[in-house]
Structure 1
Amino acid sequence: MRIILISLLVFQSATGFSTRHMGEGQALYEHHCARCHGTDGARGMFGAKNLQKSLLPDTAITLQIRNGKRIMPPFKKRLTPGQINELSAYIKTLRKPAI
C-alpha cells in the first residue's frame, strides 16, 4: 500500500497536477464553459467542441480560452493568466482515453 501511495505522490509532483485544478479550474469551467460544452465536456451546443475528444496541446487550449474562437468569446479580459491556466488544466481532466 505504501508503494502505491508513494508512486502516486511522485507522479503528482512530477506532472504538476494538483487537486487545486479540480477546485478553481472546475468552478471557472462551470461558470464560463459548461453552458456550451456541458458539465462533462461533451455537450457541443452552438458548435462547441467535444472536450472529451480534444487532442489540443496545452498552448492551444490556453490560446483558445484567451482569444476565443468563432462564437466562443475571448476570456483574456475576464480571467487572469493564472485562472486561464487553472481552467486549461481542468479542461484536460475531461478528456476520455481513446478506445
Structure 2
Amino acid sequence: MRKGLVFIAIAALIYACGGSSDSASNNTQANAQAVAAAAKPDGEKIYKQYCVTCHGLYGDMGASGAYNLQESALTLEERINVITNGRKAMTAFEALLEEKEIKAVAKYTMKLGQ
C-alpha cells in the first residue's frame, strides 16, 4: 500500500512539473505574444486614460471646448500633429506619450466617427 502511494505521489509530481516539451513550447509562444502585445500600444486604453475627460467616451462630449471627434474631418497625420503639439486649450502630449502611443490614439479616434 505504501509503495502504491509513493508511486502515485511521484507520478503526480512529474505530471505537475510538466514532463513534456509541448508545455514549454506553449509557454514560449505565450511569452512572445505577451511581449508583442506590450510593444504595440492600445490606442483605446490610452484614449480612455487621457482624452475621455474632455472628449468623452464616444468623442462627442465637447467639455472645455474639445472638438467633436465624431465629426472631425482631420486626417490621421493631422490628428497625430494635434495630439503631439496640442491645439488651443488642448494640451500637447509630446512629453507624456511616446510617438507610437500618439499614433495609436490617433488611429483609435478615426474609429469614433464611423
Shared fold by TM > 0.5?
yes
Asked if 1:92 is matched to 2:110, the reply is yes
Output the aligned Cα RMSD.
1.0
CA-to-aligned-CA distance 1:28-50 (integer Å, 9 cap, x gap): 10011010000000000011000
For 2:81, the equivalent position in structure 1 comes to 63
Asked if 1:52 is matched to 2:70, the reply is yes
Instruction: Give matches, 1:1-99, under 5 Å.
Output: 24-96=42-114
Code of the aligned partner of 2:78? A
Distance 2:76 2:112 in 1: 14
Distance 2:69 2:99 in 1: 21
Code of the aligned partner of 1:64? V
Larger helix percent: 2
TM-score (norm 2): 0.63
Structure 1 residue 59, shift from structure 2 partner = 1.1
The size of the alignment, in residue pairs, is 74
Paired-residue identity, %: 32
Code of the aligned partner of 1:74? A
Distance 1:61 1:28 in 2: 15
Distance 1:24 1:41 in 2: 17
Structure 1 residue 58, shift from structure 2 partner = 1.1
- Runs of 5+ unmatched residues, structure 2: 1-40
Distance 2:77 2:107 in 1: 11
- Runs of 5+ unmatched residues, structure 1: 1-22
